[in-house]
Amino acid sequence: MYIHWFPGHMTKAMRMMKQETAVVDSILYVLDARAPMSCVNEAFDEVIGNKSRMYVLNKADMVEPEIVQAWIAYFKKSAPCIAADSLSRTDAREVVEGLLALNAPLLDKYKAKGVNHTLRAMVLGVPNTGKSTLINSLIKGKKARTGNKPGVTRGKQWVSIDKYIDLLDSPGVLYPDFHDQSKAVKLALLGSIKDEILDIGELGLEAVRFLLSAYPDRFASRYGEEVNAQMPPLEAMRMVAAKRGYFSSDGDADFEKTGRAIVMDLRKGYFGKISLEKPI
């Protein structure tokens, strides 16, 4: 399975983001904590330029705490980094405090002049990392459109989260080219790539491979104790199909339906707290 998805609206979004960078003070770089390195888009480096950034490991509640802390330590080598559950008010306050700390020198400079500077930050990330949901938790409302699928935010959206803090919600943008297909698979499993352009049966098989390798006990707990790490992934997938009653017209396993069910189980957290990748 070869994955590539970079629709025209993403090219337009990149141009818009480059233009808007000129009027922002800093960047909130939102990553999905389940696969943060795969969410790092090198194309954003040109957009960010010399602006200060803060990484937000979003959906951290879906990942083992020790792995989250290891990722925080990793990213802190280059920039401030915090973990967040985009629905948590407590984490929302930490994001605001982190943003203020990141821009403290700038704010102090304006304060010395007797000016209350309105801090402006751009929120960016690949699709479906929960940027809009995070913003909604910051503004305690529903001003930014949200959805558990890529491509919900298409245009720029400025929102005020405080009297002197404005955020720009930007569209999720992927890599122009996936040189590393392992990253593409992880993003597809997270829902950052539209299912409509994927072979969902193949993606389901990739999910089975990963789960049997990293979390075999949880896979067995979900689908049957007879499933084990030594079992070929395709055979394990057939067993899941049989248990769920997913058969095609010829009596064989319906791999598309089975694959979709397994991928959705992973996305919804039915295997517990997991991480698709870990810090080196």
Question: Could you tell me the residue range of the domain that residue 262 belongs to?
Answer: 199-267
For residue 216, what pLDDT band results from cuts at 50, 70 and 90?
Answer: very high
pLDDT value, residue 86: 66
Q: Beta strands 26-32 and 81-84: pairing type?
A: unpaired
Asked whether residue 277 is assigned to any structural domain, the reply reads no
Asked whether residue 132 is assigned to any structural domain, the reply reads yes
Asked whether residue 182 is assigned to any structural domain, the reply reads no
Statement: residue 198 has pLDDT above 90: yes
What does 153-176 look like in DSSP terms, one character per residue? --S-EEEEEETTEEEEE------S
- Six-digit token string for 48: 């960010």
Q: Which residue has the higher pLDDT, 261 or 86?
A: 261
pLDDT value, residue 150: 45
CA distance 180 to 231: 27
For residue 132, what pLDDT band results from cuts at 50, 70 and 90?
Answer: confident
Asked whether residue 85 is assigned to any structural domain, the reply reads yes
Comparing CA positions, the residue from 174, 57, 53 lying closest to residue 121 is: 53
Residue 90's CATH number: 3.40.50.300
3-state secondary structure of 77: coil
Residue 231's CATH number: 1.10.1580.10
Question: What pTM value is reported for the model?
Answer: 0.90
What is the CA angle 269-70-205, rounded to 5?
40
> Are 84 and 16 members of one domain?
yes
> Are 132 and 88 members of one domain?
yes
Number of structural domains (the chain) is 2
- Sign of the Cα torsion 91, 97, 100, 104 reads negative
